[in-house]
Amino acid sequence: MLFLCGKLYKISFTNTYVFLKGGNRLMKQVKKILAALIVMTLVASSFAVGAATKSPEKKKLDPTKTTVAAVSAEVVYTGAEQEVDVVVKYEGETLKEGVDYTVVKPKVKDVGTYELEAKVTGIGHYEGELTAKVTVTVRPGETTTAQEPTTIAPETTKAPVTTVAPVVTTTKATAKPKAPGKVKIKKAYKKKSAKKLTVKIKKIKGVKGYQVRVFKNKKKAKKNKKAIVKKYVKKNKAKLVIKNKKLKKKKKLYVRVRAYKVFNGKKIFGKWSKVKKVKIKK
């Protein structure tokens, strides 16, 4: 039965045909209603499929949420170049290499402590690029050299051959020197209009030189971030002179210094000095 326009109609189905007894004049209206219902059903289905297949939003690898570190802080010296494996975590969750990210791994070879850069690129559910510093120490190992067995035969007789056992010699790699001590700054000063800064320190024996950083802000100096001038002084002397146009006409400046040694072509750094305020002379 079908109720339309205040009247009750009887519907009978024969194969694929529909008959409305006593209501043939309403056939056109019925067809329109059925067509509208079909269209509404198709639209609703498309929205449901779209909602079900919508991909999740990708997470960006930014430094505040992502950490990158070496899998092992120490590796053993082998004499060959070695790749440093890293572990990447996003908000404390360990990500999978090749699934969540790709990485350009840093390499080390000689004995020493290194501060290296690893470039991480997000893939899959992650996006963005991140360059992070990782610290790795290559410690001395032991290398073993074996001599070939020596065969001695008698000169005039056919006596059995005598074989001398191989001699094994063990050679230790040169040990890495200790890191330099902490630098003590006696005073730091400059003229307001000058672009030259002088820092007087207490010399440390056995170092190759010093690294100097200059800051505009004391808080940033304590965190050792955003230095306006970074310079190496490649001599071991008590008076360090820094020249840079960025130092000119600055009202406040702060400085930090650390010493370094060179071993197998790599720098070994000591600890940073305390922050020292620069005296600005008129």
In this predicted structure, what is the pLDDT of residue 157?
A: 59
In this predicted structure, what is the pLDDT of residue 35?
A: 76
159 compared with 31, residue with greater pLDDT: 31
Q: How far is CA 82 from the centre of its chain?
A: 18
In this predicted structure, what is the pLDDT of residue 102?
A: 94
In this predicted structure, what is the pLDDT of residue 27?
A: 66
Q: How far is CA 279 from the centre of its chain?
A: 38
162 exposure class (CB count in 10 Å sphere: 0-12, 13-18, 19+): exposed
Q: How many helices (H) and strands (E) does the chain have?
A: 2, 27
Q: Quickly count: other Cβ atoms within 10 Å of residue 199's Cβ.
A: 26
In this predicted structure, what is the pLDDT of residue 21?
A: 46
With a cut of 60, say whether residue 249 has pLDDT above it.
Answer: yes
Using 50, 70 and 90 to split pLDDT, how confident is the model at 48? Answer: low
Angstrom CA distances, 34 to 40, 110, 183, stand at: 10, 81, 88
Element (H, E) at 58: none
pLDDT tens for 221-245 read 999 998 999 999 988 888 999 999 8
In this predicted structure, what is the pLDDT of residue 195?
A: 87
pLDDT tens for 112-143 read 898 889 899 999 889 989 898 889 898 887 65
Comparing C-alpha atoms, which of 117, 121, 131 is closest to residue 84? Answer: 117
With a cut of 90, say whether residue 25 has pLDDT above it.
Answer: no
User: What single string gives the DSSP state of each residue in 180-222?
Assistant: P----EEEEEEETT-SEEEEEE---TT--EEEEEEES-HHHHH
153 compared with 60, residue with greater pLDDT: 60
Using 50, 70 and 90 to split pLDDT, how confident is the model at 18? Answer: very low
Angstrom CA distances, 193 to 11, 143, 215, 248, stand at: 102, 59, 17, 6
